[in-house]
């Protein structure tokens, strides 16, 4: 199977600038660039799909340039609804460093070249830029771009600063073509207009053909929301912003409608392996084995095998069949940092503990839950409303108090 065929089957390919994707991807190795602006100090799952594409391209022998927009980040790509606030230059520089380090960890720094467009954009003189670059763009073209056109329809319009952003990204492509022979830019489908602007600029200035390819925006089929911080549901790659346990739980809890698509996009499992997982998943959806594989694979890629193993085992301790007798210090630390906990400093009635941990809203409700058999401690049902909890009920100093299967509190004893 060719690279273009595999990437299409995995769902990576949306728009492309040649008659077929194969013409871009299956010939001689290209120099590919992808850029990210430092609008935050970490990438998120919406960015990560592009990084996975870069990994596939690198494995296929294409040279990768990863651009962090220290220059364009001073302005920001126009949003369709509101003007971006200008970021402090020192903050932009700090974010650039963090994003570069993050990309180096995930993509590897030995085979990928990292560049910062501040190195040339901050040196560009206004008059030379307008003469040499601006002359090749018409206002008619720019106002057709979706984000710009929507802003022009609103009351506040768009500043010239953001209006000129496509020229800057096009100039990036021209610069990398001249300095590195870059002939393919990849990005999300919302970047198509900006990427094509660079393709057109190189054709006009250098009389050369280069290419563009975009990845579809990843959308949750059940909610219609995209991955991304603008949706308020960002899953960050930085463990300080989204802990490895939270990260694992996100992928573990994806819906049946999404899981096979995500296995193709966010893991390096072969299509044959994914087909086998899908077959088993179709026969036994209740086991959620596809979600377990997805969570383990993606967490391993982002946070490493060791951390992925720890958080997977903690998840099994809290929601699966694993027993607390095997609890390690590392697992205990993850539990304390991520699960709701309650410190039991002295013996208390089970009813009072249920209220204190918000597993019941009142003592009356707590007694009802106990009488109905809905409350367990370390997998064993609490059978009487007069039951007390104390340190002797813990295992390795921990107890897992549950209401049903999904509501729990970790009791530190």
**Angle, vertex CA 326, rays to CA 322 and CA 328, nearest 5:** 115
- Residue 391 per-residue DSSP state: G
CA angle 312-313-315, nearest 5°? 65
* pTM of the model as a whole: 0.89
Q: Give the pLDDT score at 152.
A: 84
Helix, strand, coil % over all residues of the chain, rounded to 5: 50, 15, 35
Q: What percent of the chain has pLDDT over 70?
A: 98
What would the two tokens of residue 137 be? 């763009």
- 22-77: per-residue pLDDT in tens? 999 999 999 999 999 999 999 998 899 999 999 999 999 999 999 999 999 998 88
Q: How many CB atoms lie within 10 A of CB 293?
A: 21
Exposure on the CB side of residue 43, measured as CA atoms within 13 A: 24
What DSSP assignment string belongs to 118-153? Answer: HHHHTT--HHHHHHHTGGG--HHHHTTSHHHHHHHH
Distance CA 329, CA 165 (A): 50
202: its two tokens: 């190189």
CB 48 within 8 A of CB 237: yes
CB 377 within 8 A of CB 308: no
pLDDT of residue 228: 54
pLDDT in tens, 195-212: 999 999 999 999 999 999
CA distance 257 to 220: 9
């Amino acid at each position: 199977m060719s690279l273009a065929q595999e990437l299409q089957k995995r769902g990576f390919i949306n728009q492309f600038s040649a008659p077929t994707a194969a013409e871009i991807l299956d010939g001689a190795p290209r120099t590919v660039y992808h850029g990210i602006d430092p609008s935050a100090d970490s990438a998120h799952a919406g960015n990560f799909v592009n990084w996975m594409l870069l990994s596939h391209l690198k494995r296929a022998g294409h040279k990768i340039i990863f651009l962090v927009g220290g220059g364009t980040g001073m302005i920001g790509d126009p949003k369709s609804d509101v003007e971006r606030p200008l970021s402090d230059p020192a903050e932009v520089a700090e974010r650039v460093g963090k994003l570069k380090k993050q990309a180096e960890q995930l993509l590897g720094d030995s085979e990928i070249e990292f560049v910062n467009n501040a190195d040339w954009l901050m040196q560009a003189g206004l008059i030379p830029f307008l003469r040499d670059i601006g002359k090749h763009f018409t206002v008619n073209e720019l106002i057709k771009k979706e984000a710009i056109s929507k802003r022009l329809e609103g009351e506040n319009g768009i500043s010239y600063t953001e209006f000129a952003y496509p020229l800057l990204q096009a100039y990036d492509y021209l610069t990398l073509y001249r300095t590195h022979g870059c002939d393919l830019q990849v990005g999300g489908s919302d970047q198509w207009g900006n990427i094509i602007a660079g393709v057109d600029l190189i054709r006009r200035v250098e009389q050369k053909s280069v290419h563009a390819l975009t990845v579809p925006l990843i959308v949750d089929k059940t909610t219609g929301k995209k991955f991304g911080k603008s949706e308020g549901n960002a899953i960050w790659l930085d463990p300080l912003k989204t802990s490895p346990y939270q990260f694992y739980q996100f992928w573990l809890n994806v819906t049946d409608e999404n899981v096979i698509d995500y296995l193709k996009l966010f893991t390096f499992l072969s299509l044959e392996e994914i087909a086998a997982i899908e077959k088993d998943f179709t026969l036994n959806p209740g086991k959620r084995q596809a979600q377990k594989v997805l969570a383990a694979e993606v967490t391993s890629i982002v946070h490493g095998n060791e951390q992925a193993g720890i958080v997977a085992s903690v998840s099994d301790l809290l929601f699966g069949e694993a027993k607390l007798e095997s609890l390690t210090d590392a697992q205990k630390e993850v539990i304390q940092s991520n699960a709701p906990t309650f410190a039991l400093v002295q013996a208390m009635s089970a009813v009072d503990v249920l209220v204190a941990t918000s597993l019941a809203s009142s003592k009356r409700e707590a007694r009802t839950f106990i009488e109905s058999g809905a409350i367990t401690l370390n997998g064993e049902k609490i059978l009487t409303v007069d039951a007390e909890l104390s340190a002797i009920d813990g295992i390795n100093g921990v107890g897992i108090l549950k209401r049903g299967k999904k509501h729990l509190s970790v009791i530190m004893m």
